[in-house]
Amino acid sequence: MIVTSNSHILSFYPQILRSEVENNLNASFVIIGLVASVGPNLTDGMWKNFTSRTLFLRPNVKTLVYCDRVLASQRAAFEKEHNATIKTVTSNGTWVDRPPDSEYAPIIYETDDIQLYLFDAGSVPILQKALFFARDTGLFTLSPPSPFQGSWQMGAYLAYYGQGLDGATFSSEAARKDACIGYVATVLNIIEVFGAVLSRYADS
């Protein structure tokens, strides 16, 4: 077992983060392919099966969700279709109906490690900023670290524009915003990710 100083370990922080971002980017592109190929016929069972089979692409991150993009004018029809209300979570962990807004990003497909169905990722300001940046640029986007359910986490988002389309398809931010259909999102639990990677490094 290698014994090393904290400063030596911390020097690997940017490389570890970059590695995890690349893993999640690869996983996100694979899942975008699933969404594009199956389209409206995608089911929760398909999502769970596919994300489980592709877990090797994100060895330290199990959570992978799809958020639908719902405009204010579409909310009533969306909630009727799902027979439920778009939700948010208060600072004390209470689930409440999402207050009115211009658009929403409710989770409609999720891996079996979480239960956040119809939670609006855009209801959290720090996540909303990352979502909108992904939507408007077409880039894979990370939110800043923030506390959630007792741990420090980062959200990672990739916008979905439709089959065969990506951010480079569009000539402007406004065009990408109009075309965005939803988001593939992952969650990086910072302590778990770095603990797992540094454990492998120490045992090597």
Domains of the chain by range and CATH?
A: 15-203 (3.30.450.350)
CA angle centred on 67, ends 139 and 81, rounded to 5°: 145
Q: pLDDT (tens digit, 9 = 90+) per residue, 53-95? A: 988 887 777 889 999 999 999 999 999 999 999 999 987 889 9
CA distances from 53 to 50, 69, 114, 137 (A): 5, 26, 17, 29
Per-residue pLDDT at 164 = 87
The per-residue pLDDT for 142 is 87
Task: Give residue 43's pLDDT band: very low, low, confident or very high (50, 70, 90).
Answer: very high
Specify burial of residue 20 (Cβ count, 10 A radius: 0-12, 13-18, 19+).
buried
More confident residue, 194 or 70: 70
* Residue pLDDT, tens place only, 135-168: 999 998 988 887 766 677 888 899 999 988 899 9
The answer to whether residue 1 scores a pLDDT higher than 50 is no
| Average pLDDT over the chain, rounded to an integer | 84
Better-scored residue on pLDDT, 64 or 2: 64
pLDDT band at 2 (very low <50, low <70, confident <90, very high): very low
pLDDT for 26-35, tens place per residue?
A: 788 888 888 8
Residue 12's pLDDT is what? Answer: 53
Residue 58, pLDDT score: 79
